[in-house]
Amino acid sequence: MAVEVRYYTDPVCAWSWSLEPVVRRLMVEFGDTLSWTYVMGGLARNFAGNGDDQAVYSRQISHWMDVADVGGMPLDPRLWTEGPLSSSYPACMALKGASEQADDGGYAYLRVLREGIFCFRRKLDTTEALVEAAREARLGVERFRLDLASNAIVEAFGNDLEEFRSRAFELPTIVVGDTVISGLQPYEAYAEAVGSPPSGSRPGVVEALRRFGRMATREVEEVCGLPGPRASAELWRLAMEWQVKPVRVLTGHLWEPA
């Protein structure tokens, strides 16, 4: 029987983006023994709710740069000067819509949102932008569009907000059984809560990229067991052999199969 993992997050939560290396390692090492449920925390109904837009956006830029420094995931905070998000609620509701048809609970769609927001400066807070992201995640676009406009999705998101607020968690928080792990913690904290993973070797870089499509250098470190400069060296070696391709982000790189 699969172990239930309830992941309290938000597509626009920078700390959740920094947790992706750990999440992906858990997915690789535990596989189908984990059942993931993504609970939307509703980071911001209105990012500029106090009327001082520029001050809010400046704080977001500073926050993202601080998170990038700690978490090591690539970020491009110029989003907040070029086309700032008005709210994280539309993306949260879109994730609930994606989960209605996706076998992975909506993870692939969530990843498209995260990469778009944090790496490619995409203003993913409108219906058409979110539908285009669904197309990239290979969801049924017409069904997704209908779901996104339905009262059921609004109600599902409302239930998530109520659950998240009643438990007074921070973002991100992962709950496994009775164990609550909040914030950005080392992989071992999550693995211990789940139990011993199946024995076996870590995937190679190319194998990992084929599974996930795109990965940051920090994710390759965690998933493939290549700490520090070893991951970067191996990625650039593979790039020289035309096996992988770097995608430049302001503070680092994403990598994809060539």
Which contacts of 231-239 are long-range, i.e. CB under 8 A and separated by 24 or more positions? 231/205, 234/205, 235/205, 238/205, 238/206
Mean predicted confidence (pLDDT) in 43-52: 81
Among 14-28, 84-98, 188-202, the range scoring the smallest mean pLDDT is 188-202
Tokens 């539309």 -> residue: 90
Assigned CATH topology for domain 205-257: Arc Repressor Mutant, subunit A (1.10.10)
Q: Is the pLDDT of residue 132 over 70?
A: yes
Residue 250's pLDDT band (boundaries 50, 70, 90)? very high
The pLDDT, as a whole number, for residue 51 is 62
The pTM (predicted TM-score) of the whole model is: 0.95
Three-state SS across 8-52?
Answer: EECCCCHHHHHCHHHHHHHHHHHHHHEEEEEEECCCCCCCCCCCC
Residue 1's pLDDT band (boundaries 50, 70, 90)? confident
Mean predicted confidence (pLDDT) in 164-175: 97
The pLDDT, as a whole number, for residue 210 is 97
The pLDDT, as a whole number, for residue 48 is 78
Mean predicted confidence (pLDDT) in 71-83: 96
Mean predicted confidence (pLDDT) in 188-213: 90
Radius of gyration of the chain (CA): 18
Among 69-78, 114-123, 193-202, the range scoring the smallest mean pLDDT is 193-202
Every domain of the chain and the residues it spans: 3-173, 205-257
- Select the more confidently predicted residue: 30 or 49: 30
Q: Is the pLDDT of residue 177 over 70?
A: yes
How far apart, in whole angstroms, are the C-alpha atoms of residue 61 and residue 250? 13
Mean predicted confidence (pLDDT) in 215-226: 97
Give the H or E element holding residue 223.
helix 217-224
The pLDDT, as a whole number, for residue 199 is 66
Q: Is the pLDDT of residue 22 over 70?
A: yes
Q: Give the right CATH number for 3-173 from 3.30.1360.120, 3.40.30.10, 3.40.50.12280, 3.40.50.2300.
A: 3.40.30.10
Q: Is the pLDDT of residue 54 over 90?
A: no
Q: Which residues contact 245 (CB under 8 A, 6 or more apart)?
A: 239, 255, 256, 257, 258
Amino acid at 60: Q
